[in-house]
Amino acid sequence: MRHTISVRVENKFGVLTRISGLFSGRGYNIDTLNVGPTHDPSVSQMTLVVQGDDKVLEQVTKQLNKLVDVIEVIDFKEGEAVMRELILARVKVDAKTRAEVMQICDIFRGKIVDVQRYCLTVELTGDESKVGAFIGLMENFGVLELSRTGRIAMKRN
């Protein structure tokens, strides 16, 4: 089962290492990891996506809460949060395919952020299924390069 875990931490040196070490020490691979500042510069927000059974992950969550620099830990259940990803994709185009790629970008509400003679760079945000569907369509044209943030999440309420 995939879990999305949000961790608010004090913005201090070594916090990321301690938290990722807690997961790897228990045999969990982190699928995606995002870290960034919040509106308070002394606090950072980490969003981790991991796979594992509920019981063991509950123990990891309890151990995270015991770390000195951790402020809050939330294991989001389905529907409890708004979740998004961001991608930048450089897609191969020519005179025949340029309009079609642009049309697909428009349908997916993607934004073309760079135009070159033989490629377009597209920015797209959405949930995991939207991003996956878009990448699948772009593979037909040729994805030259792809950068994907992984999931970020925020509580609903």
The CATH number given to whatever domain includes residue 100 is 3.30.70.1150
Dihedrals phi, psi of 155, to nearest 5 degrees: -55, 145
Of the residues 76, 107, 128, the one at which a domain ends: 76
Q: What is the pLDDT along the chain (157 residues), one digit of tens a residue?
A: 888 999 999 999 999 999 988 888 877 888 899 999 999 999 999 999 988 788 878 888 888 998 889 999 999 887 889 999 999 999 999 999 999 999 999 999 999 999 999 999 999 999 999 999 999 999 999 999 999 998 999 998 7
Strand order in the sheet with 70-76: 30-37, 43-51, 2-10, 70-76
Which CATH number characterizes residue 27's domain? 3.30.70.260
Give the range of the structural domain holding residue 115, as residue numbers without chain letter: 82-155
Pair 7, 42 in one domain: yes
8 and 62 together in one domain: yes
Domain total of the chain: 2
* Domain shared by 42 and 100, yes or no: no
